[in-house]
């Protein structure tokens, strides 16, 4: 028996937006949990009422843009934000937008582009990612070297706290140090501090020009060596990415070998020279089919190919290991990695974001993820990096043999979480223990 | 007064010469960039993280609070010892552990002066973008404590954007690391971000991993002169509308033009209503086009527009701007620096608002502004020895804060809250937001041991 009060939920959002038949619920859910109900609120006050209702009976609540992760919310409520999908304001003078969290990230990018502006963060999973999710995950991506990570683009928000209270913070100023920086601290908190109901987003002017240079390489290592050459030559493109042979076919059908994508945004007059320089570095480095792409549709195709690969990897977090090293240390990282994994070209998947020194490795079926992550972390640490995120911290503490530090970190994290969500209601599936 | 026993223990931890307890010595640590003052029980200057840990433990035992301090140039009262407290000064933790240009990282101790880091980086053709005008004196620890800005924020952002990771001593004396050497290392919550700008109330930072960038290949500095401040702000709006992202859009009004001229003799016309310093950077090929567009935009309204032709000219322009705060001292003995920010579109209104406050309260106000960011520093000139005048000035400062909030802005763009603006904080934030700050403070520092009384009370 679940404690969810379906009729009260219907009273809040209307009958049509409370779904409790398992077959109809399925399209809103992912994962193994079995929530009792899916609810689709249309406004902040509805979100707040739902959260308050959940509080009365201590019902667990999971939140998602288009799809909710059901982990930890069996018998509870899955809240889907997709009806809250309006752009409330597009302010050209201040280069900001006010947007609701349920708007799909890809649709937001389109609308922003139509307005002649730019929202740089890449969609995490193209088809389902929402703007709310973008900031709840708060990642960096292959454009972050130039534009900064996702958090850079949040100036404020409205949020329903785990107690149902509504919190508003931030303003249209691009510089603001008033109070503690809860604005940026909330980015990446995965819905544990609260549910975003409005986002005040910073935008940029559209880059004056866009070009890409692509090339294919028989060897992963040779491809990667060209990145070091570019960095040494003081060339810092917008993206400098590498996709191994098995994934390259998804990014650009027909590709044989490893695909290198160099993206150049901005660089209005200089773009031609830089593109030529990049093209010669790729060619001299052993690349074939090296091509400078200037035409808009073809450029978009290349970038969308990249996003598609990225989305496939992001969709399976339990089947990937992600790590970072100093960008110039990447050649060593890949050689040492290969010693552990065997031929990287043949691996199910590996991508490199060269400017960030980031690697995402898709694991063959049956791999012991933790064991591999442990090895990879050691390797990465010797090259100025670590496995990404919370898991990386745990493994780092292991290497330092510093259980105390790990304990301190997790107890601080859980104290923070508890301060905001004393009953542990919101997104209980999110673990802060790695 | 600290007991003999505590002084002895402190000296054992950091060494004889790194503990100050004499009256005269303490006096200097009672001040900062504001007009406030206080008196510490003692000052202790650790040189290692281990010493910081020992100090924290000892102070916890003794129930004495700690006030972290860098160079003490903050404009918020952020280092004023306000309760029974010992100042922990980071000015002896000045090691640059590592500069790794290949991987865009430097690892430094918190007491490193921003300028000293810039000098070392410049040798390798790199730089650290945050450069508050106080960069010759202020420390990296202080920059991160306040999340300082500077003249380059419009393009490059603020201190927050260049902090990759930290080593932090928590109020319970335990050490944690936040972040790492790259963007992807935060443990679940972005702890680095909440420490940045927290003015020392959450943790003591003992090591900083900063992001560094190659010095841009080319840069152009321009100067536009206007009859009125409002005209300058029109140019700012037009440049942004043209899709150009300059590194710098700095504005000074007539009063500041004159005071800086007295000081630098840079040749700015004393009758100009405002001067705008505009800088763009990037690839050499892209400079001419941008300079041309900016020139066309500015010349529509400016009475004069020029492009600096030599490094000396560039220097001259920047010397004027950098001496702005100090230069006003010739007019009146004291000045209060304000730090309001409004959405860029409200900048002209904010200028109007400043003029109105000056008139309403009968005070002299000069304006320096990071105009591209909508960040104004109205400088109120007065004589602190005159009690009545001082009170009027405080009232005017409050009026400036309220004006910024009415224009949907903030009471602090880059200087922080500290003691000075704490009393206005709940005018900017709702009770729920204020409570969120307290929740965060409570999680880190439930017994209110670090920098008590700054930003919020528990
Ligand atoms: C002439 C002048 C010009 C200025 N120009 C600018 C400007 O352009 N932009 C700008 O943003 N600011 C400016 N400021 C303000 C000030 O210089 C900055 O806030 C600066 O970053 C403070 O650095 P500091 O080393 O003096 O820090 P302090 O004043 O010593 O400390 C600042 C804060 O950080 C905390 N803190 C210091 N070290 C640590 C540590 N290791 N761990 C934890 N907390 C710590 C302190 O407790 C305090 O709250 C200016 C000030 C002056 C006097």
User: How far does the centroid of ligand 1 lie from the alpha carbon of residue B104, in Å?
Assistant: 24
- Do A45 and A125 fall into the same domain? no
B 393-422: CB under 8 A from A = 408-417, 421
* B190 contacts on A by Cβ (under 8 Å): 138, 151, 184-185, 187-189
Antiparallel, parallel or unpaired: β B274-282 and B248-253: antiparallel
Residue pair B228/B275 in contact by the 8 Å Cβ criterion: no
Residues A222 and A168 in one domain: no
How close B426 gets to chain A, by Cα (Å)? 10
Same domain, A66 and A201: no
Three-state DSSP at A311 gives helix
Decide if A413 is inside a domain: no
- B203 CA: distance to closest CA in chain A (Å): 12
Q: Which of A342-346, B58-62, B340-344 has the lowest mean pLDDT?
A: A342-346
Q: Report how far ligand 1's centroid is from the alpha carbon of B140 (Å).
A: 8
Q: Which of B187, B238, B280, B350 to mutate to test the interface with A (most CBs of A within 10 A)?
A: B187
Q: Are residues A243 and A137 in the same domain?
A: no
pLDDT of residue A100: 98
Count of the separate structural domains present in chain A: 3
Q: What is the mean pLDDT of residues A339-348?
A: 82
Statement to judge: residues A236 and A359 lie in one domain: yes
Ligand 1 close to Cβ of residue B414 (< 6 A): yes
Backbone angles phi, psi at A253, to 5 degrees: -50, 140
pLDDT tops 70 at residue A8: yes
B-contacting residues in A 180-209 (Cβ below 8 Å): 180-182, 184-185, 187-189, 204-206, 208
- What is the pLDDT at residue B427? 97
Confidence of residue A1 (pLDDT cuts 50, 70, 90): low
| CA separation for the pair B401, B411 (Å, rounded) | 5
Architecture of the B218-326 domain: 2-Layer Sandwich (3.30)
The CATH class of the B332-406 domain is alpha beta
Residue A369 placed within a domain: yes
Is residue A20 in some structural domain? yes
Query: What DSSP string describes B211-253?
Result: E-EEPPSEEEEEEEEESSHHHHHHHHHHHHHTT---SEEEEEE
Residue A406 lies in a domain: no
| pLDDT per residue as tens digits for the range B250-279 | 999 999 999 999 988 888 999 999 999 999
Q: Which two tokens stand for residue A337?
A: 């990695």
Q: B86 C-alpha to center of ligand 1: Å?
A: 18
- CATH of span B4-89: 3.30.43.10
Task: Please give the Cα distance from A300 to A395 (Å, whole number).
Answer: 38
CB-based contact, A413 to chain B, within 8 Å: yes
Q: Which residue has the higher pLDDT, A324 or B187?
A: A324
CATH code assigned at A140:
3.30.465.10
Tell me what the pLDDT averaged over chain B comes to.
95
Interchain proximity B341–A175, CB inside 8 Å: yes
* Residue B237 contacts A, CB cutoff 8 Å: yes
- One domain, residues A40 and A56: yes
Q: How, if at all, do strands A61-64 and A68-69 pair?
A: unpaired
Rounded CA gap, B67 and B83, in Å? Answer: 9
**Domain stops at, among A80, A114, A129:** A80
* Inter-chain touch A328–B214, beta carbons under 8 Å: no
Average pLDDT, integer, range B15-35: 92
More confident residue, B449 or B266: B449
| Helix extents (H) in A141-266 | 144-147, 182-185, 220-232, 245-251
Minimum mean pLDDT range among A95-99, A208-212, B82-86, B246-250: B82-86
Average pLDDT over all residues of chain A: 95
Do A218 and A353 reside in the same domain of the chain? yes
Q: Which of residues 201-220 of B touch A (CB under 8 A)?
A: 202, 214, 217
Q: Do A178 and B170 touch (CB under 8 A)?
A: no
Domains B4-89 and B96-214 share a fold: no
Interface probe with A: pick from B130, B146, B167, B188, most Cβ of A within 10 Å: B188
Per residue in B157-178, pLDDT (tens digit) is 999 999 999 999 999 999 999 9
Contacts with B, A 121-160, CB within 8 Å: 138-140, 144, 148-149, 151-152
The pLDDT of residue B326 is 82
| ipTM attached to this prediction | 0.96
**Domain end: A22, A51, A80, which one?**
A80
Shared domain for A96 and A44, answered yes or no, is no
- Determine the average pLDDT of the residues in B429-456: 97
Quick: pLDDT tens for A368-424: 999 999 999 999 999 999 999 999 999 999 999 899 999 999 999 999 999 999 999
User: What is the three-class DSSP state of A403?
Assistant: helix
Residues of B in contact with A91 (CB under 8 A): 345
**Which of B334, B347, B331, B343 lies closest to B394, judged by CA?**
B334
If asked whether residues A343 and A214 sit together in one domain, one would say yes
Share of chain A above pLDDT 70, in %: 99
The alpha-carbon gap from B362 to the nearest alpha carbon of chain A, in Å, equals 28
> To the nearest whole angstrom, how far is the Cα of B417 from the nearest Cα of chain A?
6
Q: Which two tokens stand for residue A18?
A: 């409370």
Within a domain: A351: yes
Taking contacts as CB-CB distances below 8 angstroms, the residues of chain B near A98 are none
**In a shared domain, residues A123 and A182:** yes
Do the domain assignments include residue A431?
no
Nearest residue, CB atoms, B102 vs list A326, A356, A358? A326
Q: Which domain holds residue A182?
A: 87-205
- Test A180 with B237 for CB contact under 8 angstroms: no
pLDDT in tens, A14-60: 999 999 999 999 999 999 999 999 999 999 999 999 999 999 999 99
Q: What is the pLDDT of residue B323?
A: 87
Cβ atoms of B318 and B302 within 8 Å: the answer is no
| 50-109 of A, contacting B, C-beta below 8 A | 91-96
Is residue B14's pLDDT more than 70?
yes
CB contact under 8 A, B193 and A187: yes
Average pLDDT (B275-287) is: 95
CB A184 within 8 A of CB A255: no
b or e along A420-429 (b: 16 or more beta carbons within 10 Å of the residue's beta carbon)? bbeeebbbbb
Asked if the structure places residue A423 within a domain, the reply is no
In this model, does residue A346 exceed pLDDT 90? no
Phi/psi for B165 (5° steps) reads -165, 160
Q: Strand, coil or helix: what is A32?
A: coil
- Cβ-Cβ contacts under 8 Å between A and B: the total is 262
CA of A153 to the centre of ligand 1 (A): 25
For residue B418, the ligand 1 atom closest to its alpha carbon is 49
pLDDT greater than 80 at residue A120:
yes
Q: Where are the domains of chain B?
A: 4-89, 96-214, 218-326, 332-406
User: Does any domain span residue A411?
Assistant: no
pLDDT at A114: 96
Region A347-371: what's the mean pLDDT?
94
Cα of A414 to nearest chain B Cα, Å? 9
Confidence of residue B329 (pLDDT cuts 50, 70, 90): confident
Tens-place pLDDT, residues A293-319: 999 999 999 999 999 999 999 999 899
Neighbouring CB atoms inside 10 A of B63's CB total 9
A285 & A145 share domain: no
Sheet containing strand A18-19, strands side by side: A18-19, A37-39, A77-80, A61-64
Stronger pLDDT, A375 or B34, i.e. the higher one: A375
B96-214: CATH, from 3.30.465.10, 3.60.20.30, 2.60.120.860, 3.40.50.300: 3.30.465.10
Q: How far apart are CA B290 and CA B286, in angstroms?
A: 7
Domain closes at, from A205, A240, A262: A205
A334 and A216: one domain? Answer: yes
Contacts (Cβ under 8 Å, ≥6 apart) of B418:
B34, B74, B76, B77, B78, B80, B199, B454, B455
**B90, B134, B137, B152: residue to mutate for ligand 1 pocket, most atoms within 8 A of CB:** B134
**B348-386 residue pLDDT tens:** 999 999 999 999 999 999 999 999 999 999 999 999 999
pLDDT band at A287 (very low <50, low <70, confident <90, very high): very high
* Yes or no, beta carbons of A174 and B409 under 8 Å apart: no
Residues 350-379 of A with CB under 8 A from B: 356-358
pTM of structure: 0.96
Closest Cβ–Cβ partner in B174, B188, B289 for A413 = B188
């Amino acid at each position: 028996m679940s404690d969810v009060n379906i009729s009260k939920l219907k009273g809040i959002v209307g009958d049509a937006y409370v779904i409790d038949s398992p077959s109809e619920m399925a399209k809103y859910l992912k994962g193994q949990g079995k929530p009792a109900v899916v609810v689709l609120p249309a406004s902040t006050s509805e979100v707040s009422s739902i959260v308050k209702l959940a509080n009365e009976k201590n019902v667990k609540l999971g939140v998602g843009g288009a799809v909710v992760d059901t982990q930890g919310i069996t018998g509870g409520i899955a809240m889907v934000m997709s009806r809250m999908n309006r752009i409330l304001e597009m302010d050209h003078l201040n280069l900001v937008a006010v947007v609701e969290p349920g708007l799909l990230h890809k649709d937001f990018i389109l609308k922003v582009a139509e307005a002649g502006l730019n929202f740089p963060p890449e969609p995490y999973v193209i088809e389902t990612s929402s703007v709310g999710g973008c900031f709840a995950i708060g990642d960096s991506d292959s454009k972050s070297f130039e534009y900064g990570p996702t958090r850079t683009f949040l100036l404020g928000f409205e949020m329903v706290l785990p107690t149902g209270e509504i919190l508003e913070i931030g303003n249209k100023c691009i510089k603001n140090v008033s109070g503690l920086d809860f604005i940026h601290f909330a980015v990446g908190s995965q819905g544990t501090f609260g549910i975003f109901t409005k986002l005040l987003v910073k935008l940029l002017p559209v880059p004056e020009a866009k070009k890409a240079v692509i090339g294919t390489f028989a060897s992963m290592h040779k491809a990667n060596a060209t990145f070091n050459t570019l960095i040494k030559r003081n060339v810092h493109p917008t993206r400098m990415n590498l996709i191994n042979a098995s994934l390259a076919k998804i990014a650009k059908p027909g590709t044989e070998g490893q695909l290198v994508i160099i993206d150049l945004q901005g660089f209005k007059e200089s773009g031609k020279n830089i593109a030529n320089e990049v093209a010669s570095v790729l060619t001299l480095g052993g690349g074939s089919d090296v091509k400078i792409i200037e035409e808009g549709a073809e450029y978009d195709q290349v970038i969308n190919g990249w996003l598609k690969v990225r989305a496939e990897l992001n969709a399976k977090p339990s089947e990937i290991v992600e790590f970072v090293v100093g960008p110039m240390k990447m050649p060593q990282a890949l050689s040492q990695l290969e010693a552990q994994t065997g031929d990287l070209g043949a691996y199910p998947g590996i991508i490199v974001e060269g400017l960030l020194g980031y690697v995402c490795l898709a694991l063959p079926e049956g791999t012991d993820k933790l064991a591999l992550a442990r090895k990879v972390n050691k390797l990465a640490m010797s090259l100025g990096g670590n496995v990404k995120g919370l898991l990386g911290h745990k493994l780092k503490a292991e290497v330092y043999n510093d259980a105390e530090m790990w304990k301190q970190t997790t107890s601080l994290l859980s104290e923070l979480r508890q301060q905001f969500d004393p009953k542990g209601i919101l997104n209980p599936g999110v673990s802060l223990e790695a | 007064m600290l007991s003999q026993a505590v002084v002895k223990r402190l000296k054992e931890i950091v060494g004889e010469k790194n503990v100050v307890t004499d009256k005269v010595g303490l006096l200097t640590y009672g001040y900062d960039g504001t007009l406030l003052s206080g008196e510490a029980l003692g000052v202790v200057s650790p040189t290692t993280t281990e010493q910081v840990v020992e100090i924290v433990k000892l102070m916890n035992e003794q129930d004495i609070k700690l006030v972290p301090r860098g160079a003490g140039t903050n404009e918020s009262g952020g280092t004023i010892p306000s309760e029974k407290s010992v100042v922990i000064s980071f000015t002896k933790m000045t090691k640059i552990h590592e500069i790794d240009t290949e991987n865009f990282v430097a690892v430094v101790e918190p007491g490193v002066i921003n300028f000293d880091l810039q000098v070392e980086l410049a040798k390798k053709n790199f730089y650290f973008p945050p450069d508050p005008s106080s960069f010759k004196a202020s420390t990296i620890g202080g920059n991160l404590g306040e999340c300082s800005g500077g003249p380059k924020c419009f393009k490059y952002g603020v201190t927050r954007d260049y902090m990759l990771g930290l080593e932090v001593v928590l109020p319970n004396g335990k050490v944690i690391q936040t972040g790492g050497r790259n963007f992807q290392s935060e443990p679940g919550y972005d702890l680095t971000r909440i420490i940045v700008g927290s003015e020392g109330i959450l943790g003591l930072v003992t090591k900083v991993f900063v992001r560094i960038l190659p010095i841009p290949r080319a840069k152009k500095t321009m100067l536009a002169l206007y009859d009125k401040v409002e005209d300058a702000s029109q140019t700012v709006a037009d440049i942004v509308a043209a899709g150009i992202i300059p590194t710098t859009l700095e504005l000074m009004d007539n009063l500041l033009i004159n005071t800086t001229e007295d000081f630098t003799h840079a040749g700015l016309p004393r009758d100009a209503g405002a001067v705008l310093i505009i800088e763009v950077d990037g690839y050499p090929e892209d400079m001419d086009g941008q300079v041309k567009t900016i020139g066309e935009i500015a010349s529509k309204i400016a009475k004069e527009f020029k492009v600096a032709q030599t490094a000396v000219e560039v220097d001259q322009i920047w010397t004027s701007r950098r001496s702005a705060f100090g230069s006003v001292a010739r007019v009146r003995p004291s000045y209060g620096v304000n730090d309001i920010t409004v959405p860029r579109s409200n900048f002209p209104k904010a200028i109007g608002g400043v003029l109105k406050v000056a008139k309403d309260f009968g005070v002299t106000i000069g304006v320096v502004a990071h105009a591209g960011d909508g960040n104004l520093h109205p400088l109120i000139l007065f004589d602190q020895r005159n009690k009545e005048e001082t009170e009027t000035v405080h009232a005017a400062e409050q009026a400036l804060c309220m004006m910024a909030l009415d224009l949907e802005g903030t009471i602090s763009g880059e200087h922080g809250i500290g003691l000075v603006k704490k009393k206005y904080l709940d005018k900017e934030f709702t009770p729920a937001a204020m409570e969120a700050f307290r929740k965060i403070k409570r999680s880190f520092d439930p017994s209110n041991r670090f920098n008590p009384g700054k930003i919020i009370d528990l």
